[in-house]
Amino acid sequence: GGSLGIGKATALKLINEGANVLVTGRSHERLSKVFKNNEVKLLSFDIGDLDNISHYANKCLDMMGGKVDVLINNAGTGVSSSIEKINKDDFLHVFNVNVFGLALLTKEIVPKMKSQKSGTIINIGSTASLKGYRNGSIYAASKFSVRCLTQCWQAELREYNI
């Protein structure tokens, strides 16, 4: 997501540097408010809505003129809960956003990067990917997963200059 925190700061920095930027997030209202005075493309969608990832990935590609130099995966959500209170719904919500949506969106963008023979994928993680913490089972597990995906993709995509 690009309307808050690290995503917002990163997008604003890239815009100020003159990059051609597409910012996504769940709330079009918040995106419009944050980036109202900037030359930027905006698209609102929920990365956790796995059934529509392909549609939105194609929309992103269209909005960028079919070229993607850098993909920054920054969407994230968390749940803090003790082991006795964790449940399937919390796991699914966090993993749909932090892991599955990230991976499926990236899967849709990679063929374009391969055809360009270049690209950079940046997955924004967390120190939670390095060490778990009290009541962090679900969030930390999702960020461990993102860290592992990042390492796997680096090995898999290196030969394509990605």
User: Which active-site residues does the annotation give?
Assistant: 139
**∠ at Cα 13 (139, 43), nearest 5°?**
65
**Within a 13 Å sphere around the CA of 74, how many CA atoms are in the beta-carbon half?**
19
Within 10 angstroms of residue 113's Cβ, the number of other Cβ atoms is 22
Q: Which residues contact 127 (CB under 8 A, 6 or more apart)?
A: none
What residue type is assigned to position 122 of the chain?
A: I
The three-class DSSP label of residue 75 is coil
